[in-house]
Amino acid sequence: MTEAAKWIVKDPAEEDVYWPSKEMKKRAWISDESIYEEAARDPVAFWAERAREGLDWYKEWDEAYKWEPPYFKWFIGGKLNASYNCLDRHVKTWRRNKAAIIGVREPIDEEAKVLTYYDLYREVNKFANVLKSLGVKKGDRVSIYLPMIPEVQIAMLACARIGAPHSVVFSAFSSDSLKDRIIDAESKTLVTCDGYYRRGRPVNLKDNADKAVEGTTIENVIVFKRTGGEVRWAEGRDHWWHELMKDAPLYYKPEVMDSEDVLYILYTSGTTGNPKGVIHTTGGYMTQAYWTTKWDFDIHDEDVFWCTADVGWVTGHTYNCYGPLSVGATQIFYEGAPNYPEPDRMWQIIENYGVTAFYTAPTAIRMFMSWGDEWPKKHNLSSLHLLATVGEPINREAWMWYFNTIGGGRCPIIDTWWQTETGGTLINALPGVGPFIPCVAGRSFPGTRHEILDEGGKPVGLNEGGYLVQRPSFGPGMLRGVYKSPETYKTNYWSQYGNEAYYTSDGARMPKEKLFRLTGRVDDVMKVAGHRLSTAEVENAIGGHPSVAESAVVPAPDEIRGQVPWAFVRLKEGEGSDELAKEIRSHVGKVLGPTCRPDKIIFATDLPKTRSGKIMRRILRSLAKNEAVGDLTTIENPACVEELKQKVGHKAAS
Ligand code: ATP
Ligand code: MG
C-alpha cells in the first residue's frame, strides 16, 4: 500500500474539531450537507425514495407512512423479501463472485472460511429447504443460538427467506437465559452448534442448548459441527446440520413478505432492567439498514467492513448481516477473543485483510488501551479510512486514543447513537460532512428528527441538559412493538410525552446547533444541590486522569444536598489510595467545577457489565442507596458485585 490517505483535517480555529478532507469528500457517498434540509422538507418522501432506490420490491407500497399513535407503519402494502435483497439481486451481477463474509476462525492456524455471495446464496437456499423439511413455515419463530461463525448469517437469512421470524440469542448467555427466550418466542426449532473456540479452549454449546430446550416447545434442534467435540444426542429431536444439508434442494423461492411482516424479535441488552423483546419488521428496517450502512461507514464495493459486535445484539443484526449484505459489501466476521493468542489479534486481522472501516464499542476501546500501544503499533493499519463506535458514550481519552493510535490521526470517528429499538443508527456525523468531535455523536440521520426536552415537554436551550426524544415521522427501522407486551411498549416509550414523541430514556444536550452530545441514561441523571449532573460528563472528566482506565458515576443519597456523586473507578494498574482519590476529586473539580466532585471514590478491580460490555450503573446505584441489587441475569461478571458490596459496606439483602 502506498502512503496512507488523510481522510480528515483539523479545524484551524477550534480545538478538538475535525472535518472531512478533500479526499474524503471526494470518496464519500454524501459530502453535501444540503441532504439534511432536503430530507427534512418531506421526510416521508425522502424515505420512500430511499426505499425505492436501495431495495428491490416485488410490489410497491400503496401508502408510504401511517401514524396511528402509538403505532406507525412504513411502506404499507409493499412486498419484498430481506434475503432476496441480501443475496439474489447480487448473484445476478458481478458480485456473485465477491466475498460476502470472511469468517476468521479463532485458532490462528485455521484458514478463514470465505463465502462469496454465490456461496452464501447457495447455503441459505439449502438451509431454507432444511427448515422447511422440519416443518418451519412463514410466521413460525426460530431460535438461533450460535457463535460468531458464518452459519449464523446462513440461518438468519434462511429464516428471512421463509418468512419465519428469528430470535437470535447471544451464545455466551446461559441455558436459563436461552430457555426464557425460547419460551417467550414459543419457537419449535432451535439452531445451534456443538461448540466453538474461546481463547484456545473449545466451549461446549450443545450442553447449554440441551438444558435450555427441556420442557419447552422445541421439537427440532439443528446442530452445526464446529469443534467436533463430544455431544449428547436426543434421537429424533437432534439433527446434524451437515446431514440435513447434504441432499437439500439448491433453490427456495423467497416468500413474498409484506413490508410490515415481522423480520425478527431481539431482546435488548438488559442494562437498565429486564430485556425487552423488540419487534422489527421488513421493509422499513431493511431501508434503514441499507442506507445507514452505506452512508455512515461510507461503504463502496472495494471496502472491507468489520463490525466487531456479537451477532446476538442488534448491532450484529444490522451491521453484520442485513446492512452490509444488502449493500453487497465484504465483511469480516471473527469468531474469537480479541486477545487470543496475543492482544494484537484485532490489528493483525485489520492488516491481513486490509480492513477499511472498523466499528466497535467504547468498552472494547478502553480494553485495547489498557493492553498498551505496543500491540497496534506492530501492525500496518493504513488501509483504514474510517473508525466508528456504538453502545455507550465514548469518553474523550478513549476517543483520542482510537483516533491517534488506531486511526493514525487520519480517520474520522463516527460515534453512532442508536438502540435495539431504533433498528439502525440515528444520530452520528456522516463521514463526508462532519464535524468529528470527541463525545459529540453528531446530527440526526437525514429524514429523522430528534429533540431535547425538559420535564414539561419544552425544548431546552443550547447546552442545557434534557431528555432525548424522536419526533414523527419516526425512522423506518424503529421497533413496531414489544413481543407479547403492548403495555411495555406503551409505558417505556410513549408515556412520558404522550404520542408527541418517542422517549429514548437517554439524556443529551446540544453543544452547538443540531449537534447532539449524549450525557448518559435518564435513570442515572442526578441532582446535586439543585444542579443537574450527567454521569457521562463526570465520567469523562475522571477518565482524563492518567491513572484511570474507566469509571462509573452514580447518585448516592445525601441529607443536605439531596444527592451526591459516587464514582466507581477501575485503575490502569495498582490498588488506589486516599491520595489518588483526592487527586481525582480535585481533577474533576478543575474540569467541571466543585459541585461535580465525586463525594466518594471507590476503587474496584472490575465494574459490573452486561454481556455486551456496558456498565450496569443500576447495580452501582443500588449499592450507593444500600438497596437490593436486583436482577443479575444479564451480568457478565457477577463476582465483582460481591467485591463492591464489601467495599461500600452494603447490607441490604439481594
Ligand atoms: P436495556 O434497554 O434492556 O436496559 P440497553 O439500553 O443497554 O438495554 P441497547 O439497545 O443495546 O440496550 O442499547 C442502547 C443504549 O445504549 C442507548 O439507549 C444508549 O443509552 C446507549 N448508547 C448506544 N450508543 C450510544 C452512543 N453512541 N453514545 C451514547 N450512548 C449510546
Ligand atoms: Mg435500552
Q: Residue range 372-382: average pLDDT?
A: 97
**pLDDT value of position 269:** 87
Domain residue ranges in the chain: 112-255, 450-519, 525-648
User: 220 CA to middle of ligand 2, Å?
Assistant: 32
State the DSSP string of 484-552.
T-HHHHHHHHSSSSTTS-EEEEEEEEEEETTEEEEEEEGGG-EEETTEEE-HHHHHHHHHTSTTEEEEE
Residue 2 has pLDDT above 80, yes or no: no
- Percentage of the chain lying above the pLDDT 70 cut: 99
- Is the per-residue pLDDT at 124 higher than 80? yes
Per-residue pLDDT, 349:
98
Average of pLDDT values for 342-354?
A: 98
For residue 301, pLDDT beyond 90: yes
Separation of 309 CA from ligand 1 center, angstroms? Answer: 13
What confidence score (pLDDT) does residue 654 get? Answer: 57
Nearest ligand for residue 612 CA: 1
566-592 pLDDT, tens digit per residue, is 999 999 999 999 999 999 999 999 999
| Ligand 1 mean position, distance from CA 392 (Å) | 6
State the average pLDDT over residues 333-337: 96
Residue 107 has pLDDT above 50, yes or no: yes
The alpha carbon of 391 and the centre of ligand 1 are apart by a number of angstroms equal to 5
DSSP class per residue in 304-315: EEEE-S-TTSHH
Q: Residue 273 C-alpha to ligand 2 middle, in angstroms?
A: 9
Query: What pLDDT sits at residue 528?
Result: 82
With 90 as the cut, is the pLDDT of residue 475 above it? yes
**CATH 3.30.300.30 matches 525-648:** yes
Q: Tell me how far the alpha carbon of residue 397 lies from the centroid of ligand 1, in angstroms.
A: 20
Res 1 pLDDT > 70: no
From 170, 177, 268, mutation site for ligand 1 pocket: most ligand atoms within 8 A of C-beta = 268
Give the ligand 1 atom nearest the CA of 315.
11
**Which ligand minimizes its atom distance to the CA of 506?**
1
Statement: residue 460 has pLDDT above 60? yes
- The model's pLDDT over 231-289, given as tens digits with 9 standing for 90+, comes to 999 999 999 999 999 999 999 999 999 999 999 999 998 888 888 999 999 999 999 99
Cα–Cα distance for residue pair 221/339, rounded to 1 Å: 32
Name the residue of 392, 399, 522 to mutate for ligand 1: max ligand atoms within 8 A of Cβ: 392
Residue 33's pLDDT is what? 97
Residue 634: the pLDDT is 86
The predicted model gives 474-503 an average pLDDT of 96
Which of 323 and 652 is assigned the larger pLDDT? 323
Looking from the CA of residue 267, the nearest atom of ligand 1 is 3
Is the sign of the CA dihedral 523, 524, 526, 532 positive or negative? negative
Give the model's pLDDT for residue 4.
77
pLDDT in tens, 424-434: 999 999 999 99
Which ligand gives the minimal distance to the CA of 507? 1
Question: Minimum mean pLDDT among 19-23, 72-76, 275-279, 386-390: which range?
Answer: 275-279
Residues near ligand 1 (Cβ within 6 A): 268-273, 275-276, 313, 390-393, 415-420, 441, 504-506, 518, 521, 614
Q: From the alpha carbon of 614, which atom of ligand 1 is closest?
A: 7
CATH of domain 450-519: 2.30.38.10
> Mutate which of 168, 180, 267, 271 to test ligand 1's pocket (most atoms within 8 Å of Cβ)?
271
Host H or E run for residue 398: helix 396-401
Q: Report pLDDT for 532.
A: 81
pLDDT for the residue 114: 98
The pLDDT-based confidence of 307 (bands split at 50, 70, 90) is very high
- Tell how far the Cα of 26 is from the centroid of ligand 2, in angstroms: 37
Ligand 1, closest atom to CA 521?
Answer: 20
Mean per-residue pLDDT for 612-621?
93
Whether the predicted pLDDT of 653 surpasses 90: no
Interatomic CA distance for residues 646 and 640, integer angstroms: 10
Rg for the chain, CA atoms, rounded: 24
**Mean pLDDT computed over 96-110:** 97
pLDDT number for residue 17: 98
* Nearest residue (CA) to ligand 1, atom 17: 419
Give 98's pLDDT tier (boundaries 50, 70, 90).
Answer: very high
Distance 419 CA to ligand 2 centre (A): 6
Cβ neighbours for 58, distance < 8 A, ≥ 6 positions apart = 79, 80, 81, 256
Atom number of ligand 1 nearest to Cα 416 = 27
Can you list the positions of beta strands (E) in 139-267?
Answer: 142-144, 166-168, 189-193, 195-198, 201-204, 220-224, 238-240, 257-258, 262-267
Residue nearest to atom 29 of ligand 1 (CA): 393
Ligand 2 centroid to residue 246 C-alpha, Å: 42
Predicted confidence band of residue 3 (pLDDT cuts 50, 70, 90): low
Task: Supply the mean pLDDT for the chain.
Answer: 96
Check whether 507 has a pLDDT greater than 50: yes
Select from 180, 269, 491, 534 the residue to mutate for testing ligand 1; criterion: most ligand atoms less than 8 Å from CB: 269
Provide, rounded to the nearest whole percent, the portion of the chain with pLDDT above 90.
91
Q: How confident is the model at residue 652 (pLDDT cuts 50, 70, 90)?
A: confident
Q: How many residues does the chain have?
A: 654
Ligand nearest to the CA of 418: 1
Choose the CATH number for 112-255 among 2.60.130.10, 3.10.450.50, 3.30.200.20, 3.40.50.980.
3.40.50.980
Mean pLDDT of all residues in 314-342: 97
CA distances (Å), origin 293, targets 95, 153, 467: 18, 17, 27
pLDDT at 82 (0 to 100): 99
pLDDT, average across residues 172-200:
94
User: How far is ligand 1, taken at its centre, from the CA of residue 418, in Å?
Assistant: 7
Which residue's CA is minimally distant from atom 1 of ligand 1? 270
Q: Specify the pLDDT at position 640.
A: 94
